[in-house]
Structure 1
Amino acid sequence: MKKKINLLLFTFLAFVGSAWSHALWIETDANGQLNIKQEIKIFYGEYAEQHIEPIADWYSDVKNFDLWLVTPSGKKQKIETSPLENHYLAYFTPTEEGLHQIFISHEAKDLGGKTLYQFNTTSIVKVGNTKNKLNHEHLNIDLKLIPHDKNNFTVYFKGTPEPNVAVELTGPSGWTKVFQSDANGKISLETPWEGSYMLEATKSTKESGEHHENAYESVWRCATFKIASLFN
């Protein structure tokens, strides 16, 4: 009986651990063209391990996310998505020059024990003249990574720069390094090789509340941002 209980506990912890360590991320060309349709892909899995989950295996209701676009003039609109085998596909057509922000913020329906999981991801598309500054206030995300250039970001938590947040950087060859945001929420990265890099910030907090009629005592949040050729 004891072995059976231990096996059930191990299975539960493995399941929760898998959900805890996975993340959503957006892939799209960092440079768009005015009035030209652009492709967006949304994945879920372990980027550092090059593991992409089939949609059928995504945790809880993560596949029910909403994908949003914020235009350079501040207009916010929902983008429709279509499921494929291991990712979602979407398109948008830029009608303004400047920096376009694409984002997802989704709280999974099911708790892991007493923990609520929130998955956040953002991407930026540069179209033509980019004199407009990023207005991240339009991004309704608790935990987010805001770029200043390719190697410098600020971690925001609930609208305020957040210190002491662990941010993992994964390079094009699978190389990883963990950075810690400073007292002003800033991180300065090392990107020694050509190619794309992925940033993933995680933060756990003691918070209590009710989610889909289930009580939680803590919240785990992650935020991803893929660095492509935006600042090259």
Structure 2
Amino acid sequence: MTEYKSMSKLAIAIASLLACGAAQAHYLWIEGADGSAKLYFGEAEALLKEKSPGKLDNIKGPKAFTVDAGGTRSLASITRTTEHFAIGGSGAAVIVSEESLDVRDLGKNGLGIAKQNYYARSGPVRGTALPLDVQAQGPNTYAVLYRGQPLKDAKLEVIAPNTWMQEHTTDAQGVVRINTPWRGQYVLHVLHVDKTPGEFGGKKYDNLRNHFTYTFIKTEGADPGPAVPPAHPME
């Protein structure tokens, strides 16, 4: 695992900019909670939040649930706005799944015939809440799980409050230890490609591309400084 080093603000900015240029992968993530949760589509490390009309409309049918402290899950309202999906209801956690997207031919990108699923969570949930999930194992320690089983060698991205992004790799037990030196919002992102063929909506696919994010707030730590804008305009 890579450890955070003591870095100057300039070095942080450079690392962030390089990460933004390399990621180029959209996903869903949640910000806020307790009746004011917002679901975004884009790339948090690039300060990219898609809008409607536009690429936000590619997300057709997300489902949202709130989870109370006792673990009871309730269906939440979810409304598309021009910049995000507004999620109603309150609870200790919010979970979102988007499994309605059609099978697509991504062969020109070297990704084959793929079905894409997006999952997002904020706040703690007892047990595995989604097919792809990240569960806390202790301070700054997480396990990446797919269908309840640990994922070895999974790549977990940590997007810090200042958009600096770092990648970690899980061990044989699917566990990874991260670093959170600054206070503020963190987004953990995992992409897992399941190469088991299947069919959805009458169309066959040769892989499932599952994205998951977990958002949490750290109340203590150093001042992260301002968020670093992307080095280049995002397409």
The answer to whether the superposition gives a TM-score over 0.5 is yes
Look up the equivalent residue of 1:106 and give its one-letter code. E
The change in CA–CA distance for 1:60 and 1:118 in structure 2 (over 3 A counts) is farther
Q: Which residues in structure 2 correspond to 1:67-216 (within 5 Å)?
A: 67-94=64-91, 100-113=92-105, 114-124=113-123, 134-137=125-128, 139=129, 141-216=130-205
1:230 deviates by 7.0
Contact 2:77 2:89 in 1 (8 A): no
Distance in 2 separating the partners of 1:93 and 1:206: 36
Contact 2:93 2:122 in 1 (8 A): yes
Contact 1:109 1:212 in 2 (8 A): no
Contact 2:41 2:56 in 1 (8 A): no
Q: Where does the alignment leave 5 or more consecutive residues of structure 2 unmatched?
A: 1-23, 106-112, 222-235
Q: Where does the alignment leave 5 or more consecutive residues of structure 1 unmatched?
A: 1-19, 30-36, 95-99, 126-133
1:63 deviates by 3.6
Identify, as 1 or 2, the structure richer in strand: 1
1:161 deviates by 1.7
Task: Give the TM-score normalised by structure 2.
Answer: 0.74
Other-structure match for 1:40: 37
The change in CA–CA distance for 1:224 and 1:195 in structure 2 (over 3 A counts) is same
1:86 deviates by 1.0
Encode CA deviations 1:141-183: one digit per residue, 9 max, x unaligned: 2111112345111101101121111011111222111101111
1:111 deviates by 2.0
Encode CA deviations 1:66-124: one digit per residue, 9 max, x unaligned: 10122232322110022211101123245xxxxx2311122242223110101011111
Contact 1:60 1:109 in 2 (8 A): no
SS at match of 2:53: helix
Q: Number of residues paired by the alignment?
A: 191
Contact 1:60 1:108 in 2 (8 A): no
Contact 2:183 2:217 in 1 (8 A): no
Moved over 4 A (4+): none
Look up the equivalent residue of 2:183 and give its one-letter code. E
Distance in 2 separating the partners of 1:231 and 1:81: 31
Distance in 2 separating the partners of 1:93 and 1:168: 27
Distance in 1 separating the partners of 2:131 and 2:68: 20
Encode CA deviations 1:11-55: one digit per residue, 9 max, x unaligned: xxxxxxxxx8110011114xxxxxxx6311110001110100013
